Structure 1
């Protein structure tokens, strides 16, 4: 592995990082990504002006991403390397955070508290929710769960497998900058181009592994059919496979109309079947959770197999 970790240790540290996430969740007092976001905002305000904005955006990306990643790589060679790898994965992964953000939406809808559901949904999506009904809110929550399963969980796990804790950190920082700068607005079209392309590149393989996992754990035929016929129409090259395969795996019709900044937009269709309902928020979360445990089990089995093979080879 490029991480320098052998497979048994890699599986153990991946388990430790996910266990920390499960038990502790997001840090309550000060989250490193929150501090990183404030730094990103400061850098953007200083650099996103004048000419050569693409180059300025590239410089800002390198200034924000490379130093912490290199520092993490240096710390990962220390006597506390194992603990550092697990902690870096804990900071990079957001499985529990995803659960804590999406399940309350379903609970609010089940309690017929539409205002609370709108407020909770507005925290995780960029579309307008002020006038959204139950179906619109359920659809938004399911779409966000499927997409963020890749962005907040599986991308970090993939790059942890490739490059250990520094790899997971690199992915999460790049993904955060894409979420902040990767818009096709007049403000970010040039400045955020490198951030968007870097995230596309880092996410290309994880997104397709996530899509494959979704369809295998749901309805494989429908998931594959939707991936094959719908993904290319989605604006994001990575969200398309993830969301189309996930929607098909769940047997849901997602995509379609949504309101952004007061302007209705018609987005490409995702999946097929019935419209999303309140109960589907929990179904989407369980699909993400099962995928996480399957990835962890695969890492553990690979580690066991490597140990057995190595022991047999030297016998």
Structure 2
């Protein structure tokens, strides 16, 4: 196959052009976290929960959570489906939605600032950076606790905001990618780790667990390839089942085992201590370890993008 033929096939593949176009636009002009629609969505979700999360019984709270989830997601899905035929170019519609769904530049920005704060042992600045993007309480975290929380945040941000978004774009287009991102944000807003959202938030958490299952596990396997592969699979076998969500479990264990970092463990949510299992190795994450995790994830993410692009070309063009 010559270069001209390959170019023509890529050009005719609108889905692949949208994918690389969104990545390029996001690289040049990332969407600021503070101005992202997910922030408004998150606030609306919290206000809705204040109105409907009032049942004391388990079954009624589960029912309220299910109905609230459907009220948030189904109208948005119907609106996006209705809007797509009205757009001049369907690819531009997908491009806009994928741009809103994907996010690694804000994660990189957070990580760089967080690593610098940890390196100079500035706990207050590290807490200030971490607090807006996690549900757990950060006030009492030590440097070791901040290292763990920062590493987990970095790992899950790459996994969900990049890899899983691209996975669902490949399966369901821009609508699928954007709806996945908003569902993840809804799960964060109603996380049952906080007592006031338990069990109200369980339905959306279970939905996200299903959506995460395939992409995060495949990404975890990509991380396992290379050095310490045997150790990674050994810890996956012994530790993954101790974490409540299967997709994040594999991803956290894979990175922790690969870098020999200690992840998981107890965490504070709204003043209450949540007992979480320990994952990974024995080294407490410090600034240099988090920087190493970022490099590992960035290279594996690049490999994921290349592999997904090749698969999309093969499927759409029949190569």
Q: TM-score, normalised by structure 2?
A: 0.86
Q: Does residue 10 of structure 1 match 2:18?
A: no
Equivalent residues, number: 306
* Aligned with 1:41 (options 26, 38, 46): 46
* Aligned with 1:144 (options 153, 159, 178): 153
Q: Which string of whole-angstrom CA distances, capped at 9 and with x for unpartnered residues, describes residues 226-272 of structure 1?
A: 22211111122322111011111222222234444455555322112
- Closer, same or farther in 2 for the Cα pair 1:308/1:188, shift >3 Å? closer
Shift of 1:53: 2.9
SS in structure 1 of the partner of residue 174 of structure 2? helix
* Aligned with 1:255 (options 264, 270, 278): 264
Shift of 1:42: 2.4
* Structure 2, unpaired ranges of 5+: 1-10
* Aligned with 1:23 (options 4, 25, 28): 28
Shift of 1:160: 0.5
Structure 2 equivalent of residue 201 of structure 1? 210
Structure 1 equivalent of residue 80 of structure 2? 72
- Closer, same or farther in 2 for the Cα pair 1:129/1:84, shift >3 Å? same
* Structure 1, unpaired ranges of 5+: 1-5, 311-315
Pairing of 1:117-266 with structure 2 (within 5 A): 117-216=126-225, 219-262=228-271, 266=275
* Aligned with 1:81 (options 60, 76, 90): 90
Alpha-carbon distance in structure 1 between the residues aligned to 2:71 and 2:138:
35
Pairing of 1:41-120 with structure 2 (within 5 A): 41-50=46-55, 52-77=60-85, 78-120=87-129
Structure 1 equivalent of residue 3 of structure 2? none
8-17 vs 255-264, which moves further: 255-264
Q: TM-score, normalised by structure 1?
A: 0.87
Q: Does residue 279 of structure 1 match 2:288?
A: yes
Shift of 1:37: 1.5
Contact 2:243 2:277 in 1 (8 A): yes
Alpha-carbon distance in structure 2 between the residues aligned to 1:242 and 1:35:
28
